[in-house]
Structure 1
């Protein structure tokens, strides 16, 4: 996992940010994610209310493991 310092201004500008359709919570805290345009499979994640703040970058294996965990319910802390 990388921090924002590892991304250039050009890389940041090329990310197509996405907010989950499940984030429609009246303007509350939202997470945005977007693939880097370099074809590496890396995905950047940031807080939507702080677009110039910290960005975390996951490589393809890390992002895949996270998505698999979400689908398996590993992060369902409400139960």
Structure 2
């Protein structure tokens, strides 16, 4: 199995404008993938998702499918 190497410092990381106090996830485009990391640990693990995987997650989030996790 080969692993994709990305330069995390070269990515244009973004956070949601609703984030408060840096407690959020950051996302960035990484080639044909979406990179996700924890803003409190920017040097920690970066998880890579395909665009269809990330689109499916966003669709579920927009539909409220994960709202129960906040209760």
Partner of 1:22: 18
Alignment TM-score, normalising by the size of structure 1: 0.74
Within-5 A mapping of 1:1-79? 6-9=4-7, 12-24=8-20, 27-36=21-30, 38=31, 40=32, 42-77=33-68, 78=70
- 3-state secondary structure, aligned to 1:6: coil
Alignment TM-score, normalising by the size of structure 2: 0.81
Q: Hey, which bits of structure 1, 4+ residues long, moved more than 3 A?
A: none
- 3-state secondary structure, aligned to 1:35: strand
Q: Distance in 2 between matches of 1:45 and 1:67?
A: 13
Q: Distance in 1 between matches of 2:42 and 2:4?
A: 16
User: For structure 2, which runs of at least 5 residues remain unmatched after alignment?
Assistant: none
Matched pairs, number: 68
- Pairwise CA RMSD of aligned residues? 1.7
Q: Distance in 2 between matches of 1:33 and 1:43?
A: 7
Is the CA contact 2:22–2:39 (under 8 Å) kept in the aligned structure 1? no
